[in-house]
Amino acid sequence: MTEDVIIKLENVSTVYEGERRPAIKGINLTVNRNELVYVVGPNASGKTTLLETINGLLPPFNGKVSVFGLDVQSHGREVRREIGYVPQDFMVKPGEPYTAFDVVLMGCYGQIGFLNRPSEEDKKRAEQAMKLLGIQELASRPMGKLSGGQQQKVMLARAMAKKPRILLLDEPFSNLDPDSRGQIPLLITELHEKQDLTTLIVTHDIHHMLEHCNRVIVVTGGRITFDGTPEKALPLVENHPHTTPLEGHHH
Ligand X SMILES: Nc1ncnc2c1ncn2[C@@H]1O[C@H](COP(=O)(O)OP(=O)(O)O)[C@@H](O)[C@H]1O
CB 136 within 8 A of CB 58: no
Q: Judged by CB, which is closer to ligand X: 39, or 197?
A: 39
Angle at 184 between CA 178 and CA 190, to 5 degrees: 150
Residues 6+ away with beta carbon under 8 Å from 13: 22, 24, 25, 26, 27, 60, 61, 62, 63
Pairing of strands 215-220, 62-67: unpaired
Q: Judged by CB, which is closer to ligand X: 87, or 142?
A: 87
Show contacts with Mg ion in window 70-89 (CB under 5 A). 88
Torsion angles phi and psi, residue 36, rounded to 5: -120, 110
CB of 43 to ligand X, least distance (A): 5
CB 84 within 8 A of CB 166: yes
Residues that bind ligand X (rule: CB under 6 A) add up to a total of 11
Q: What is the DSSP-derived secondary structure letter of residue 127?
A: H
Length of the chain: 251
CB 135 within 8 A of CB 157: yes
Binds Mg ion by CB under 5 A, chosen from 13, 14, 48, 66: 48
Residues that bind Mg ion (rule: CB under 5 A) add up to a total of 3
Under the binding rule (CB under 6 A), the answer on residue 225 touching ligand X is no
CA distances from 198 to 33, 38, 58, 82 (A): 6, 11, 20, 11
CB of 11 to ligand X, least distance (A): 18
Under the binding rule (CB under 6 A), the answer on residue 204 touching ligand X is no
Under the binding rule (CB under 6 A), the answer on residue 232 touching ligand X is no
Show contacts with ligand X in window 66-125 (CB under 6 A). none
| Interface mask toward ligand X for 5-44; x: CB under 6 A | -----------x--x---x-----------------x-xx
Q: Judged by CB, which is closer to ligand X: 132, or 201?
A: 201
Q: How far is it, in rounded angstroms, from Cα 168 to Cα 146?
A: 23
CB 105 within 8 A of CB 122: yes
Binds ligand X by CB under 6 A, chosen from 13, 45, 53, 198: 45
CB of 169 to ligand X, least distance (A): 12
For residue 156, the surrounding DSSP H or E stretch is: helix 148-160
Binds ligand X by CB under 6 A, chosen from 8, 47, 192, 208: 47
Q: Judged by CB, which is closer to ligand X: 79, or 219?
A: 219
Q: Which residues are near ligand X by CB under 6 A?
A: 16, 19, 23, 41, 43-49
Residues that bind Mg ion (CB under 5 A): 47-48, 88
